[in-house]
Structure 1
Amino acid sequence: MCLRLVNLHDAIQSHGACPAHRLPSVSPRSGSLSVGDFRKMLMKTGLVLVVLGHVSFIAAALLHGTVLRYVAAPHDAVALQYCVVNILSVTSAIVVITSGIAVIVLSRYLPSIPLRWTVFSSSVACALLSLTCALGLLASIAVTFATQGRALLAACTFGGPELLALAPDCPFDPTRIYSSSLCLWGISLLFCVAESVFAVRSAQITHQLLELRPWLGKSSHHMMRESPEPMEDHDLPSCTSSGLMTL
């Protein structure tokens, strides 16, 4: 009897836990990244996207309130292009905020496959939209430099930017609208580029979670696998007692 108890004790120590007490948990691995690493990266990326989206939205709102509400003219192609780009900036900011919130939610509910696909799709759409917005803002800056801001001064009656002066028939201060517009466009351009970068980062993380391939020429061979969690110390006596009952 003592020999059987010794053999049972050695078997328990060699296996570490009884099969009945194993608690399988799905843990995605990619290289040296663990579940906690994925959660941290997703949380940080989502927070950055939310902050960038809010700042871009504020910049677009300031641009509309200080400049574009005076130059909106359907018959002017340049002014119409300004308004379209600003609407695109607002839309991109809203999409970025929504995508950032989805990334944060995914960091909490990582095993959800539909949520992973949602975040991946929204991240790709966010990256494309932010890149398009950046190109539109760059075009607006180039057109403004090329035309010397004539479309911005269309609401005033004087002939050109060389006659800048405070006029009673001008609804804004013409001496500041040129520099203000370029400054706000430059800020929005930088934030759109940053949004596209972090959206691509979010798409890359969810791509690794979905185990798609290839990604940047690399195929992922790390599949979802079950890893038993360590058994609590208080489970050992119950395992021993169950083993003794079968003797």
Structure 2
Amino acid sequence: MSNCIIYKAKGPGRLMKKGLTLILVGHINFILGAIVHGNVLRHISKPNQHVTTEYTVANIISVTSGLLSIAAGIIAIVVSRNLRVTKLQIGLLITSFLNALLSAACCIGLLLAIGVTVAHNGQGLMQGCNSTGVPINARSPISAHCPFDTTRIYDTTLALWIPCSVLSAAEVGLSIWCFVVGLALRGLGPCGHNYLKELVGVCLCA
């Protein structure tokens, strides 16, 4: 009987851990995205006569992805304590699927933004500066009259974007795992019925 109890607790425990991890990762990603979008790059969100779409979209998606990851993590924890509730199972499927897509879009968007920034030496970060007709990038020795502090803006932006992209990739993996568990709880997939038996404790005791 003890073997059966351990077997029964194995599945819900894993789901709860994944949910807690999603909440933690989502919080960190949300905070980093909010710092980048609301503080470091607020001047290029909508500068005069310029719209840096790639940066704005990437950071907004990063913040949204963090919030959705928190929601998916909470649902995963609730499901781990109520495995047989159909509405919760469906909620886990929907939130984890949407979060996987949004996190993937966030990761790709951030990687593109990083690539564009590095390729142009941060020229897009200097939008809105008075460069007197001369192209100015964030690493240029030429001084420019800017309505914001340009000190270390290039390094700071990359230092925040890189961990955001890594966290977004982690959100994708965790969300896919939760989605597969949701399918298994609904009895779907090649191993759905066997995994469902493991979660609810229907096992053979030696």
What is the TM-score when the length of structure 2 is the normalising length? 0.82
Distance 2:9 2:97 in 1: 24
Q: Give the drift of 1:76.
A: 3.4
**What is the CA-CA distance between 1:54 and the residue it aligns to?**
0.5
Tell me, yes or no, if structure 1 residue 190 matches structure 2 residue 166: yes
The residue type paired with residue 88 of structure 2 is: L
Is it true that 1:50 corresponds to 2:37 in the alignment?
no
- Does 2:141 match 1:163? yes
- Structure 1 residue 227: deviation in Å? 5.8
Q: Which amino acid aligns with 1:124?
A: F
Quote the residue 1:153 is aligned against. 126
Sequence identity, in percent? Answer: 36
Correspondence 1:97 to 2:70: yes
Q: Deviation per CA, 1:34-75, whole angstroms, max 9, x where unpaired?
A: 431121011101100000110001001110233221112375
Residue 114 of structure 2 aligns with which residue? 141
1:223-238 to 2 correspondences below 5 Å: none
The letter of the residue matching 1:39 is P
1:70-149 to structure 2, matched below 5 A, reads: 70-73=43-46, 75-76=49-50, 79-149=52-122
Counterpart residue number, 1:212? 188
Contact 2:186 2:192 in 1 (8 A): no
Q: Is the 8 A contact 2:27 2:66 kept in 1?
A: yes
3-state SS of paired residue (1:163):
coil
Residues 175 and 213 of structure 1, relative CA distance in 2, 3 Å threshold? same
Q: CA deviation at 1:199?
A: 0.7
Of residues 145-154 and 192-201 in structure 1, the stretch that sits farther from structure 2 once superposed is 145-154
Shift of 1:108: 1.3
1:64–1:221 Cα change, 3 Å: closer
1:200 paired to 2:173:
no
3-state DSSP of counterpart to 1:181: helix
**Are residues 1:38 and 2:11 paired?**
yes
Aligned twin of 1:234 = none
Quick one: distance in 2 between partners of 1:128 and 1:96?
A: 11
Structure 1: state its 5+ residue gaps: 1-28, 229-247
Q: Does the aligned pair in 2 maintain the 1:67–1:152 contact within 8 Å? A: no
Q: 1:119 to 1:226 in 2, by over 3 A?
A: closer
What RMSD in Å do the two structures reach over aligned CA positions?
2.4
Larger radius of gyration: 1
3-state DSSP of counterpart to 1:173: coil
TM-score, normalised to structure 1, is 0.70
Q: Do the aligned partners of 1:49 and 1:99 also contact (CA within 8 Å) in 2?
A: yes
Specify the code of the residue in structure 2 equivalent to 1:198: L
Segment of structure 1 superposing worse, 155-164 or 43-52: 155-164
2:50–2:128 contact (8 Å) kept in structure 1: no
Whole-angstrom CA distance in 2 between matches of 1:116 and 1:154: 47
What secondary structure sits across from 1:205 in the alignment? helix
